[in-house]
């Protein structure tokens, strides 16, 4: 009788151990799935977009056939919103312009400063007319799909504490800070979701409204100064 009880006890213990083992495996699998889902929310920038930086050798060309091209510099990148002007120009022949076609600004391109005041971003609007190129200290981030939505998301993310941390980690130079564009392609950026699409566009628009208010106040201040006489 004692042997029978011992056998029964061992069987019960074995079943309990098996159950615990299966439960642990199940929990591990669930945990692994959750972690994978979380990590998949961010991917390297190169999987979503192409980065373009104009060749240093590109210079203005004189001649009757040369066309005037507007060049966006870091000074033209506003604190928020869209690019609206270009402070410089250069002349290029139709052949050279065609050769550098991929560097011409397209709607919903994101422009980022790569020297000096780093991390400033601006989106290219749909109504920007004419031929525009970025200067040497500005590079293009061009998403391959959902361009408008990604333009808002990426622009706002780069201005956030997480985005600034990425930029700081890739900054070199003491006198003139520079962003190392090559490793920037590997930066982990958020994948577009319905919620992110909604919140980033709302934040982008809110930021633009605040900038408009600032510009109005600055204009009023200038009017006060110009009207002052003694």
**Measuring CA to CA, how many Å separate 216 from each of 117, 207, 219?**
24, 14, 5
Q: Which residue segment(s) compose the domain that 207 sits in?
A: 43-222
Q: Is the pTM here over 0.75, yes or no?
A: yes
pLDDT reported for residue 176: 87
Do 135 and 71 contact (CB within 8 A), yes or no?
yes
Q: pLDDT confidence of 71, banded at 50, 70, 90?
A: very high
Within-domain flag for 111: yes
Instruction: Find the mean pLDDT for residues 169-179.
Output: 88
Residue 9, pLDDT above cutoff 50 = no
Within-domain flag for 66: yes
Within-domain flag for 23: no
Helix (H) or strand (E) holding 91: strand 88-92
pLDDT reported for residue 45: 96
User: Which of helix, strand or coil describes residue 43?
Assistant: strand
Q: pLDDT confidence of 197, banded at 50, 70, 90?
A: very high
The domain tally of the chain equals 1
pLDDT reported for residue 39: 52
Within-domain flag for 36: no
Within-domain flag for 32: no
Within-domain flag for 134: yes
* CA atoms in the 13 A half-sphere facing the CB of 1: 0
* Spatial strand order in the sheet of 88-92: 88-92, 67-72, 132-134
Do 71 and 88 contact (CB within 8 A), yes or no?
yes
Q: Specify whether the backbone of 119 is left (phi greater than 0), alpha (psi in -120 to 50) or beta.
A: left
Q: Domain holding 121: CATH number?
A: 3.90.220.20
The tens digit of pLDDT for each residue in 28-51 reads 434 333 333 455 699 999 999 999
More reliable by pLDDT, 185 or 64: 185
Within-domain flag for 121: yes
The percent of residues above 90 in pLDDT, for the chain, comes to 59
Within-domain flag for 205: yes
The tens digit of pLDDT for each residue in 75-115 reads 999 989 999 889 999 999 999 989 899 999 999 999 999 98
């Amino acid at each position: 009788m004692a042997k029978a009880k011992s056998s029964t006890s061992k069987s019960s213990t074995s079943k309990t151990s098996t159950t615990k083992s299966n439960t642990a495996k199940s929990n591990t699998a669930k945990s692994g799935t959750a972690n994978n889902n979380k990590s998949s929310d961010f991917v390297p920038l190169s999987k979503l977009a192409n980065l373009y930086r104009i060749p240093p050798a590109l210079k203005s060309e004189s001649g009757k056939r040369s066309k005037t091209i507007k060049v966006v510099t870091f000074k033209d990148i506003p604190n928020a919103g869209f690019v609206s002007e270009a402070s410089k120009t250069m002349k290029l022949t139709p052949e050279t312009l065609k050769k550098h076609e991929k560097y011409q600004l397209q709607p919903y391109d994101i422009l980022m400063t790569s020297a000096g005041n780093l991390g400033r971003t601006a989106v290219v609007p749909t109504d920007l007319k004419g031929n525009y190129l970025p200067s040497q200290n500005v590079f293009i981030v061009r998403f391959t799909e959902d361009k408008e939505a990604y333009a808002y998301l990426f622009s706002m993310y780069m201005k956030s504490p997480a985005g600034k941390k990425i930029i700081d980690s890739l900054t070199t130079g003491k006198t003139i800070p520079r962003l190392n564009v090559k490793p920037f392609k590997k930066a982990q950026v958020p994948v577009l979701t319905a919620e992110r699409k909604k919140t980033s566009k709302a934040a982008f628009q809110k930021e633009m409204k605040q900038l408009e208010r600032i510009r109005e106040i600055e204009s009023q201040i200038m009017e006060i100064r110009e009207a002052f006489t003694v």
